[in-house]
C-alpha cells in the first residue's frame, strides 16, 4: 500500500495532508504525484471523487516557491469547480506561504484584479475569465511552470477550445502540462497531442475484479441533507451490525459525533487511534455493544467480523477496487448482506463508473420519506410485541399493572406502555419532505419558474447543461423548456426535482444570478 510518506514531501505539505484527514493516497494520487514531482507531464483519467484535485494539488503546492508571480495555472470548466479546487489548494498550502486564487465569470472583476495585484502563486480559473484578465493585462502567465487542464472533456464540450489554446500560448513553452479528463474523445486527444510532451497516462481502472455476491443499492442524496438521509436509511433498514465508510479521519470523527447525538449506538475507527483504542472499539463491535462502526478504508482493512449485515458508503470510495473491498465486508459466512451507497449529485458520475467497471448492478432506491421510516419502525415494534406475547412469562408484569387494568381501557394501557417503552422513537414526526404541490406540469413532472429569461441570454442548452451539471440529472430526462423575455419555465422529473431545486434555487446560469422556485399552476401558458 502506498503512503504519503513515500513521496518525500516537505513537512509543511505532509502536515497539511494529515490535517485534512487523508490516511493514504488514493490510486490516482499514488500514480500521479511521483510523476508530477519528477517533472513529467501526465494525462489522468479520473472522475470527481477519485481525489484527482489533490493528485495535482499536492505536487503543485510542494513545488511552488514563495516568489509572488503566478507559477501554476489550473483551468476548470465551471466556477463551482474553480472554487472547489481553490478550496482544496488552500488546505494543502495551509502551512506554506503559497497563495491561490479562483477567478471566474460572475464575480466582480475589480475584486479579482485587486487580489491578483497582491501576488498569487496559483491561479484557478474558468477559461473565459482567465482570458479576460490576460487581455486587460491584469494576469501575466510568463512565469507559469505548471498548467492543469481539469475536466478537459467538459471544457471542450462547453466550447472553450479556442480560449484554452489562446491561454496556453501565453505560457512558456517549457511549462509542465497536466490534463485530467473523465473521457477521451478525439478533441481531448488532439489537444494533448498538440500541447503536451511525452505525457504519461494514469488511470484508476484496474481491470478484472471479483465482486462479492452482495445485494447492492444506491440512494441519490443531497450534500446538505446527507446526514438526515443516512439516518432515515439506517432507521428503515434492520441494521444489526453495519460498517459506515467515510473518506477521511475527520469525516469519521464528525459522523460519529453526529450519530451519537441522535442516539445511535456507534463508534469510530481510523488510523490515528492507538492499538488499545482500536481493540476496545472492535470488541464493542464484535459483541454488538455498538450497531454501527464508522471507519476509513485504512482502518477497516484489518477488520475481520463475520456477521456484518450492512456496508454503507456514506462517502463513495475513490476507485472501483476499494468499492469491491468495502462491500466484501458484508455477506460473509453464507449470510446475505446489503451494500448501500449514498451518492450526491457531484459524485454521481463516479458511482456510474464504479458500476460500469465492477460490472455490479446497483439498484436505485429512494431515500425513505419520514412516513416510510415511521411505518417500518411501527412494524418492528408490532413484531416485538407479538414475540413478547408468544414468549409468555408475562405474569410478573401483569402483577405490576395491578388494578390499572380495571380502571382504564386495556387498549389505552397497552398504548401507554408502548409509548413509554419506545422512548420517543414512535412519536409522530412532522413530514418535511419536498412537496412542490401542483406546479402545472404534466403528470410525473415538476415545473419550475426561473426569474430570468432572454434578458439574461439564457438558451435551452445553457439550462440543460446547468441542470445536468449541478443536479446530476441527465439532460434527456429534462422536459419542456419555455424561455420568455424575463422568465423561464422548465419541467423535470418528479424524482429529480429536489435535486434541481436544491442545486439551483440560488445559483447562477451564464454568470447571471438566478432564483428558481416551483411554478404556480395558474401561470401555465
Q: Which spans of this chain sit near ligand AMP (rule: CB under 6 A)?
A: 22, 25-26, 29, 48-54, 88, 247-248
26 or 145, CB closer to ligand AMP? 26
226 or 332, CB closer to ligand AMP? 226
**What minimum distance in Å lies between the beta carbon of 63 and ligand AMP?**
18
**What minimum distance in Å lies between the beta carbon of 210 and ligand AMP?**
25
3-state percent breakdown (helix, strand, coil) of the chain, nearest 5: 45, 15, 40
344 or 358, CB closer to ligand AMP? 344
**What minimum distance in Å lies between the beta carbon of 50 and ligand AMP?**
5
Task: Dump strand ranges (E) for 184-247.
Answer: 200-203, 215-220, 242-245
53 or 309, CB closer to ligand AMP? 53
At residue 174's C-alpha, the angle toward residues 170 and 176, to 5°, is: 90
Give the bridge partners for 365, in sequence order.
219
Grid coordinates of 76: 476548470
**What minimum distance in Å lies between the beta carbon of 13 and ligand AMP?**
13
**What minimum distance in Å lies between the beta carbon of 26 and ligand AMP?**
5
**What minimum distance in Å lies between the beta carbon of 53 and ligand AMP?**
3
- What residues contact 360, with CB distance under 8 A and at least 6 apart? 211, 216, 323, 354
User: Are the C-beta atoms of 305 and 284 separated by less than 8 Å?
Assistant: no
User: Are the C-beta atoms of 194 and 166 separated by less than 8 Å?
Assistant: no
**What minimum distance in Å lies between the beta carbon of 75 and ligand AMP?**
15
299 or 450, CB closer to ligand AMP? 299
User: Are the C-beta atoms of 53 and 178 separated by less than 8 Å?
Assistant: no
**What minimum distance in Å lies between the beta carbon of 54 and ligand AMP?**
4
Grid coordinates of 350: 463516479
57 or 337, CB closer to ligand AMP? 57
User: Are the C-beta atoms of 121 and 67 separated by less than 8 Å?
Assistant: yes
**What minimum distance in Å lies between the beta carbon of 468 and ligand AMP?**
18
At residue 113's C-alpha, the angle toward residues 108 and 114, to 5°, is: 100
Task: In whole angstroms, give the CA distance from residue 110 to residue 22.
Answer: 36
Task: In whole angstroms, give the CA distance from residue 344 to residue 117.
Answer: 37
SS3 177: strand
- What residues contact 88, with CB distance under 8 A and at least 6 apart? 53, 54, 57
Grid coordinates of 55: 493528485
Q: Report the run of H or E that residue 338 belongs to, with start and end.
A: strand 338-343
317 or 518, CB closer to ligand AMP? 317
User: For the chain, how far is it from start to end, CA to CA, in angstroms?
Assistant: 61
**What minimum distance in Å lies between the beta carbon of 61 and ligand AMP?**
13
88 or 470, CB closer to ligand AMP? 88
Strand pairing class (488-493; 481-483): antiparallel
Q: Report the run of H or E that residue 508 belongs to, with start and end.
A: strand 506-509
DSSP string, 224-270: GGHHHHHHHHHHHTT-SSEEEE-SSHHHHHHHHHHHHHTT--EEEE-
User: Are the C-beta atoms of 268 and 300 separated by less than 8 Å?
Assistant: no
Our measurement of the distance from residue 229's CA atom to the centroid of its chain's CA atoms, rounded to an integer in Å, reads: 13
51 or 345, CB closer to ligand AMP? 51
DSSP designation for 72:
E
**What minimum distance in Å lies between the beta carbon of 334 and ligand AMP?**
33
Task: Provide the 10 A C-beta neighbour count for residue 282.
Answer: 18
237 or 321, CB closer to ligand AMP? 321
**What minimum distance in Å lies between the beta carbon of 58 and ligand AMP?**
9
51 or 212, CB closer to ligand AMP? 51
Grid coordinates of 241: 451490525
21 or 368, CB closer to ligand AMP? 21
CA nearest to 307, candidates 324, 296, 291: 291
Compute φ and ψ for 188, nearest 5 degrees.
-70, -40
**What minimum distance in Å lies between the beta carbon of 289 and ligand AMP?**
28
25 or 59, CB closer to ligand AMP? 25
Amino acid at each position: 500500500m502506498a503512503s504519503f510518506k513515500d513521496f518525500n514531501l516537505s513537512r509543511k505539505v505532509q502536515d497539511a495532508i494529515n490535517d485534512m484527514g487523508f490516511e493514504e493516497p488514493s490510486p490516482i494520487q499514488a500514480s500521479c504525484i511521483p510523476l508530477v514531482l519528477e517533472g513529467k507531464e501526465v494525462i489522468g483519467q479520473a472522475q470527481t471523487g477519485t481525489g484527482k484535485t489533490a493528485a495535482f494539488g499536492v505536487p503543485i503546492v510542494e513545488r511552488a516557491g514563495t516568489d509572488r508571480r503566478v507559477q501554476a495555472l489550473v483551468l476548470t470548466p465551471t466556477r463551482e469547480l474553480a472554487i472547489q479546487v481553490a478550496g482544496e489548494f488552500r488546505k494543502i498550502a495551509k502551512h506554506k506561504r503559497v497563495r491561490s486564487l479562483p477567478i471566474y465569470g460572475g464575480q466582480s472583476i475589480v475584486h479579482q484584479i485587486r487580489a491578483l495585484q497582491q501576488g498569487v502563486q496559483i491561479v484557478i480559473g474558468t477559461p473565459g475569465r482567465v482570458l479576460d484578465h490576460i487581455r486587460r493585462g491584469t494576469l501575466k502567465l510568463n512565469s507559469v511552470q505548471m498548467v492543469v487542464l481539469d475536466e478537459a472533456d467538459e471544457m471542450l464540450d462547453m466550447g472553450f477550445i479556442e480560449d484554452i489554446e489562446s491561454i496556453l500560448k501565453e505560457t512558456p513553452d517549457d511549462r509542465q502540462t497536466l490534463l485530467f479528463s473523465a473521457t477521451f474523445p478525439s478533441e481531448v486527444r488532439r489537444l494533448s497531442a498538440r500541447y503536451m510532451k511525452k505525457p504519461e497516462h494514469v488511470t484508476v481502472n484496474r481491470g478484472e475484479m471479483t465482486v462479492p455476491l452482495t445485494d447492492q443499492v444506491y440512494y441519490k442524496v443531497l450534500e446538505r441533507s446527507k446526514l438526515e438521509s443516512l439516518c432515515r436509511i439506517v432507521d428503515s433498514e434492520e441494521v444489526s451490525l453495519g460498517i459506515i465508510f467515510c473518506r477521511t479521519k475527520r469525516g469519521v470523527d464528525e459522523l460519529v459525533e453526529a450519530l451519537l447525538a441522535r442516539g445511535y449506538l456507534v463508534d469510530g475507527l481510523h488510523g490515528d487511534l492507538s492499538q488499545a483504542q482500536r481493540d476496545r472499539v472492535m470488541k464493542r463491535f464484535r459483541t454488538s455493544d455498538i450497531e454501527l462502526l464508522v471507519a476509513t478504508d485504512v482502518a477497516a482493512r484489518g477488520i475481520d467480523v463475520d456477521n456484518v449485515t450492512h456496508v454503507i458508503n456514506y462517502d463513495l470510495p475513490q476507485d472501483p477496487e476499494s468499492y469491491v473491498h468495502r462491500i466484501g465486508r458484508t455477506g460473509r459466512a453464507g449470510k446475505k448482506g446489503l451494500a448501500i451507497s449514498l451518492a450526491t449529485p457531484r459524485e454521481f458520475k463516479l458511482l456510474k463508473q464504479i458500476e460500469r467497471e465492477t460490472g455490479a448492478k446497483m439498484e436505485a432506491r429512494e431515500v425513505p420519506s419520514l412516513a416510510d421510516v415511521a411505518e417500518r419502525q411501527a412494524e418492528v415494534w408490532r413484531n416485538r410485541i407479538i414475540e413478547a406475547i408468544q414468549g409468555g412469562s408475562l405474569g410478573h408484569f401483569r402483577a405490576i399493572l395491578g388494578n390499572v387494568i380495571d380502571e382504564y381501557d386495556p387498549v389505552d394501557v397497552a398504548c401507554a406502555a408502548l409509548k413509554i417503552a419506545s422512548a420517543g422513537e414512535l412519536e409522530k414526526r412532522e413530514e418535511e419532505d419536498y412537496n412542490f404541490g401542483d406546479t402545472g406540469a404534466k403528470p410525473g413532472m415538476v415545473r419550475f419558474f426561473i426569474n430570468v429569461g432572454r434578458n439574461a441570454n439564457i438558451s435551452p442548452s445553457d439550462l440543460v447543461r446547468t441542470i445536468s451539471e449541478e443536479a446530476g440529472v441527465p439532460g434527456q430526462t429534462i422536459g419542456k423548456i419555455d424561455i420568455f423575455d424575463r422568465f423561464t419555465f422548465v419541467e423535470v422529473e418528479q424524482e429529480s426535482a429536489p435535486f434541481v431545486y436544491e442545486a439551483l434555487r440560488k445559483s447562477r446560469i451564464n454568470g447571471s444570478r438566478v432564483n428558481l422556485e416551483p411554478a404556480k399552476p395558474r401561470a401555465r401558458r
